[in-house]
């Protein structure tokens, strides 16, 4: 049991996160809190840690859906555009409906985001399955289509969302006026749900089977098209939920939201151990991968390094993760063959 835990990608990521966090704690220095007068570490404090979790929550939530697509052997480049479109449509619908009770506003907003994201995921899945074109090409096209629709609908305006959504996304939950744990809790909930789906359900095992060997899965009687459609729906819905939290947290939505997010999302999944050839991945590891990327960004700020190096470091981490994954897969294959 202990050996299997140590060999898992999640264990390795936890060790890396703890090691990097320890280094940052030691070198970050400290300051005196103006309110309490206590000495506070510049890195290891509640405000910085929750802010990092908030920054990672969007990538992590969408990373869970993207991981399912990658495990099945596909890829989804449209998640950032789905995020933008869902947020814009939600903001426009709430603006058109006018003042409502806070509870109704929240439910209408969440329902609108999830409906738009469901339609986007459904469109991706239907085109991938129905047209027989690789998901890279389909979602590359829908990435522009969805963002273009958001641009046309909003006229490139930034649309404010009702304060009821901000009150939910920024609810302190007893932690203090400047601490907002809701995005963190949303990230944990989605990662846990995705993990249960992948590891504890028959449908989740089918996703691994299709990604590992689609032809064998077809001969085994699995409904490949339905499974592929399902993972794109997952990717869409996670993007919609992230859009709801993001628009509520920042108080507005615009067609430029989520630009470049697809790169962070895919990087989170791959750094978390998802194999781009399919058949391998973990929802919890995708969340940890997102946290690692945000921790690298925080390290650059904490160490007062040139932030222009952020992309270089993240790109290098992505390449290293893929190379290590492939090397490990080849080594495991040799061991099994020798055995």
Q: What is the pLDDT of residue 336?
A: 65
User: What backbone torsions phi and psi does residue 238 show, to the nearest 5 degrees?
Assistant: -65, -35
Q: Is the pLDDT of residue 304 over 80?
A: no
The arithmetic mean of pLDDT across residues 153-161, rounded, is 93
The three-class DSSP label of residue 160 is strand
List the chain domain ranges: 56-327
User: Among 108-112, 175-179, 243-247, 311-315, where is mean pLDDT lowest?
Assistant: 175-179
pLDDT of amino acid 194: 94
d(CA 337, CA 20): 36
Instruction: Write the secondary structure of 95-115 as one string of H (helix), E (strand) and C (coil).
Output: HHHCCCCHHHHHHHHHHHHHH
Q: In the structure, what pLDDT confidence band is assigned to residue 41 with cuts at 50, 70 and 90?
A: confident
The pLDDT of 37-50, averaged and rounded, is 83
The overall average pLDDT reported for the chain is 87
Q: Which residue has the higher pLDDT, 336 or 10?
A: 10
pLDDT confidence tier of residue 71, bands split at 50, 70 and 90? very high
Q: SS3 for 180-194, per residue?
A: CCHHHHHHHHHHHHH
Instruction: Dihedral sign for Cα 296, 300, 306, 308, please.
Output: positive
The pLDDT score that the predictor gives to residue 214 is 83
pLDDT at 42 over 90: no
How confident is the model over 235-257, as a mean pLDDT? 95
40-49 average pLDDT score: 84
Contact 283, 197 (CB under 8 A): yes
Residue 294: which of 325, 320, 317, 274 has the closest Cα? 317
pLDDT of amino acid 8: 60
Mean pLDDT of 154-166: 93
Q: Using the predicted structure, report yes or no on whether residue 122 has a pLDDT greater than 50.
A: yes
Check whether 7 has a pLDDT greater than 70: no
Secondary structure (3-state) at 275: coil
What fold, for 56-327? ABC transporter involved in vitamin B12 uptake, BtuC (1.10.3470)
1 falls in which pLDDT band (50, 70, 90)? very low
Q: What is the pLDDT of residue 121?
A: 96
Asked whether the predicted pLDDT for residue 134 surpasses 60, the reply is: yes
pLDDT at position 89, please? 97
Comparing 140 with 39, which gets the higher pLDDT? 140
What is the Cα–Cα distance from 72 to 253, expressed in whole angstroms? 31
Question: What 8-state DSSP symbol labels residue 178?
Answer: T
Q: What is the mean pLDDT of residues 299-318?
A: 78
The pLDDT confidence band at residue 314, using thresholds 50, 70 and 90, is confident
How much is the pLDDT for 323? Answer: 74
Q: What is the pLDDT of residue 69?
A: 95
Select from 188, 235, 178, 147 the least CA-distant residue to 56.
188
Confidence of residue 58 (pLDDT cuts 50, 70, 90): very high
- Is it the case that residue 198 has pLDDT exceeding 90? yes
User: For the chain, what's the residue count?
Assistant: 339
Helix (H, G, I), strand (E, B) or coil at 222: coil
Q: State percent of the chain over pLDDT 70.
A: 92
């Amino acid at each position: 049991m202990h050996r299997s835990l140590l060999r898992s990608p999640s264990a390795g990521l936890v060790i890396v996160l703890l090691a990097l966090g320890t280094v940052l704690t030691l070198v970050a220095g400290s300051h005196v809190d103006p309110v309490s007068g206590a000495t506070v570490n510049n890195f290891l404090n509640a405000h910085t840690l929750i802010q990092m979790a908030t920054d990672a929550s969007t990538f992590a939530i969408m990373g869970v859906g993207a991981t399912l697509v990658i495990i099945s052997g596909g890829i989804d480049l449209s998640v950032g555009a789905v995020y933008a479109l869902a947020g814009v449509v939600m903001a426009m619908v709430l603006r058109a409906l006018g003042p409502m009770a806070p509870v109704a506003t929240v439910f209408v907003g969440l329902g609108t985001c999830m409906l738009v994201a469901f339609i986007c995921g459904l469109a991706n899945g239907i085109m991938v399955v129905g047209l027989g074109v690789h998901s890279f090409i389909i979602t590359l096209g829908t990435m522009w289509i969805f963002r273009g629709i958001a641009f046309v609908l909003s006229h490139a305006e930034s649309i404010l969302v009702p304060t009821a959504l901000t009150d939910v996304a920024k609810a302190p939950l007893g932690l203090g006026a400047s601490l907002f744990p809701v995005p963190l809790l949303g990230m944990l909930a989605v990662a846990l749900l995705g993990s249960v789906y992948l590891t504890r359900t028959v449908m989740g095992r089918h996703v691994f089977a299709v990604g590992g060997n689609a032809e064998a899965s077809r001969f085994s009687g699995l409904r490949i098209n339905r499974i592929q459609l399902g993972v794109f729906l997952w990717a869409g819905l996670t993007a919609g939920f992230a859009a709801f939290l993001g628009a509520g947290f920042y108080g507005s939505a615009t067609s430029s939201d989520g630009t470049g997010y697809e790169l962070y999302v895919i990087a989170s999944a791959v750094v978390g151990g998802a194999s781009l050839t399919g058949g391998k991945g973990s929802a919890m590891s995708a969340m940890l991968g997102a946290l690692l990327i945000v921790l690298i960004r925080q390290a650059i700020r904490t160490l007062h390094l040139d932030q222009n190096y952020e992309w270089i470091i993240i790109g290098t981490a992505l390449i290293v993760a893929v190379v290590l994954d492939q090397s490990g897969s080849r080594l495991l294959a040799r061991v099994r063959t020798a055995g």
